[in-house]
């Protein structure tokens, strides 16, 4: 049995490891397009900031560990064509040769690529000019090179999603003066504006010039440096990062005849099977089953890629694993604040046929009398018709256990919880770390009181 995996990031590596776990006699070959298998691209901001001094630390597992697990790693092997009938993949090697790999089963984990907005200049300017995307280890090295080479003291970041926010912090920590430009009228478009506003304020308190509701029209380069031209004025910078989201990298799969799903993703079932025989796919290149919506969406997240990869790896070797689904659970740390969310917000919920209402509550992370208590802002979304819990969003201090507190809601939603169930949960309590009614429960009770459910 020869399992071939295209992709050496979260989904591909998880698939390969799961396959080897299931059948230690299986031959598993990973085609890794770059030289960085199994690196945590989520960790890129923390190497740029200096928090992680050595870039090799960003590897989830060392190459040695991967080899020890019995994976055949082929670095700088870029797949250029899949022949589903012949069960072969054509690959360009580091020597620019073209070779063919045969497979019994194939897993496609090609991931995502930066989605570039229509900005004048983006087609011609690049890393050599100090204009960067940031989605791979190679991109990171290019950014570091620009920072050094251009002795950058100012940066303009286009896009205030979680990577944009983390990079705003990272570059500020490095000593740069940062302008953060976002087209939508709030930072962090995956949380409600009510929580995004204090997050933007926090960025400003740390010196970031936050410009939301601002559309970038062009990027210009001249001897003086770079200028980001927007509909509300120009922002000069020594370096420009364009981090406006990603799109699935599916050219290879599409050319081979895999059926595509929402937003150009590879369509897979919950066993991570494509429509083509013996071909599976997983990670940021596929659509993701959403537990609450009971349909597929595009949710390119590392935590999901790991889980999908594992399912693909098990099933490729004859298993019957099933991807349980995502809730879009996310957390981001921005300086001293943490924002987190899970499930649906009003807009998505309404579109899915629910009758949602969101109630915001503020509650202390632990007993107010114990030193260090901080307020958490909690937005609970529930269905008015059924009382079902649909989602939650939290904003609070680092140290307030925001990340694992959102997971209480995520866990409950997975089981189809009602909002009322949350207050009944037997959650832990000790004054330095909680309250007899945990903040998560106080927020649920407030939702009940506001809705009479």
Give the binding site for a second copy (CB under 8 A).
10, 40, 42-43, 46, 51-52, 57-58, 60, 162, 291, 301-307, 324-333, 338, 340, 342, 367-371, 398-399, 401-408, 410-412, 414-415, 417, 421, 423-434, 436-438, 440
Residue 77 CB, nearest distance to a second copy (Å)?
24
Q: Which H helix or E strand runs over 153? A: none
CB nearer to a second copy: pick between 111 and 325: 325
Residue 38 CB, nearest distance to a second copy (Å)?
11
Residue 410 CB, nearest distance to a second copy (Å)?
6
Residue 296 CB, nearest distance to a second copy (Å)?
15
Residue 173 CB, nearest distance to a second copy (Å)?
12
CB nearer to a second copy: pick between 209 and 370: 370
Secondary structure (3-state) at 412: helix
Q: How far apart are CA 226 and CA 228, in angstroms?
A: 7
CB nearer to a second copy: pick between 316 and 376: 376
Q: How many CB atoms lie within 10 A of CB 448?
A: 19
Residue 241 CB, nearest distance to a second copy (Å)?
18
- C-alpha angle with apex 388: 384 to 392, nearest 5 degrees? 95
Q: Which residue has the tokens 């790896």?
A: 313
Report residue 289 as tokens. Answer: 């089953």
Residue 299 CB, nearest distance to a second copy (Å)?
9
CB nearer to a second copy: pick between 116 and 425: 425
Q: How far apart are CA 234 and CA 432, in angstroms?
A: 48
Strand partners, 332: 339
CB nearer to a second copy: pick between 54 and 224: 54
CB nearer to a second copy: pick between 125 and 338: 338
State the distance between the two ends of the chain, measured CA to CA, in whole angstroms.
55
From residue 17, alpha-carbon distances to 61, 68, 248 in Å are 11, 11, 23
Query: Would you say how long the chain is, in residues?
Result: 453
CA proximity to 187, closest of 171, 165, 204, 209: 165
Q: Which ranges of 126-192 does DSSP label H, i.e. alpha helix?
A: 137-149, 162-173
Cβ neighbors of 380 (< 8 A, separation 6 or more) are 358, 359, 360, 361, 389, 391, 392, 409, 419, 443, 444, 446, 447
- DSSP category for residue 187: S
Residue 453 CB, nearest distance to a second copy (Å)?
14
CB nearer to a second copy: pick between 49 and 275: 49
Report residue 38 as tokens. Answer: 């199994």
Q: Are strands 27-32 and 71-75 parallel, antiparallel or unpaired?
A: parallel
CB nearer to a second copy: pick between 175 and 415: 415
Residue 102 CB, nearest distance to a second copy (Å)?
31
CB nearer to a second copy: pick between 101 and 335: 335
């Amino acid at each position: 049995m020869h399992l071939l995996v295209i992709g050496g990031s979260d989904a591909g590596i998880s698939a390969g490891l799961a396959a080897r776990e299931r059948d230690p006699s299986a031959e598993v070959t990973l085609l890794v397009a770059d030289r960085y298998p199994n690196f945590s691209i989520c960790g890129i901001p923390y190497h740029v900031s200096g928090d992680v001094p050595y870039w090799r630390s960003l590897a989830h597992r060392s190459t040695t560990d991967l080899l020890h697990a019995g994976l055949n790693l082929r670095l700088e092997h870029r797949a250029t064509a899949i022949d589903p009938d012949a069960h072969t993949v054509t690959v360009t090697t580091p020597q620019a040769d073209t070779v063919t790999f045969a497979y019994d089963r194939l897993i496609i984990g090609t991931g995502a690529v930066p989605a570039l907005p229509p900005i004048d200049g983006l087609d011609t300017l690049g890393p050599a000019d100090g204009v960067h995307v940031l989605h791979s280890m190679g991109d990171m090295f290019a950014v570091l090179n620009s920072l050094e080479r251009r002795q950058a003291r100012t940066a303009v970041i286009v896009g205030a999603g979680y990577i944009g926010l983390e990079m705003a912090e990272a570059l500020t920590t490095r000593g740069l003066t940062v302008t953060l430009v976002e087209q939508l009228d709030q930072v962090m478009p995956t949380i409600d504006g009510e929580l995004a506003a204090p997050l933007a304020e926090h960025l400003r308190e740390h010196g970031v010039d936050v410009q939301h509701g601002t559309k970038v029209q062009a990027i210009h380069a001249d001897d003086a440096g770079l200028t980001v031209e927007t509909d509300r004025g120009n922002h000069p910078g020594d370096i420009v990062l364009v981090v406006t989201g990603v799109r699935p990298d599916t050219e290879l799969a599409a050319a081979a005849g895999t059926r595509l799903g929402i937003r150009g993703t590879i369509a897979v079932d919950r066993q991570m099977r494509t429509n083509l025989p013996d071909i599976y796919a997983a990670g940021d290149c596929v659509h993701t089953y959403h537990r609450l919506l009971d349909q597929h969406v595009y949710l390119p997240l590392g935590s999901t890629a790991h889980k999908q990869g594992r399912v693909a790896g098990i099933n490729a070797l004859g298993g019957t694993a099933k991807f349980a689904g995502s809730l879009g659970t996310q957390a981001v740390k921005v300086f001293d604040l943490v924002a987190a969310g899970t499930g649906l917000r009003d807009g998505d919920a309404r579109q899915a046929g629910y009758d949602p209402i969101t109630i915001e509550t503020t509650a202390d992370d632990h007993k107010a009398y114990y030193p260090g208590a901080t307020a958490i802002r909690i937005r609970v979304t529930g269905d008015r018709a059924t009382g079902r819990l649909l989602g939650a969003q939290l904003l609070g201090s680092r140290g307030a256990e925001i990340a694992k507190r959102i997971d209480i809601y995520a866990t409950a939603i997975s089981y189809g919880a009602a909002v009322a169930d949350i207050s009944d949960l037997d959650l832990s309590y000790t004054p330095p770390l909680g309250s007899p009614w945990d903040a998560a429960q106080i927020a649920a009770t407030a939702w009940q009181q506001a809705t009479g459910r």
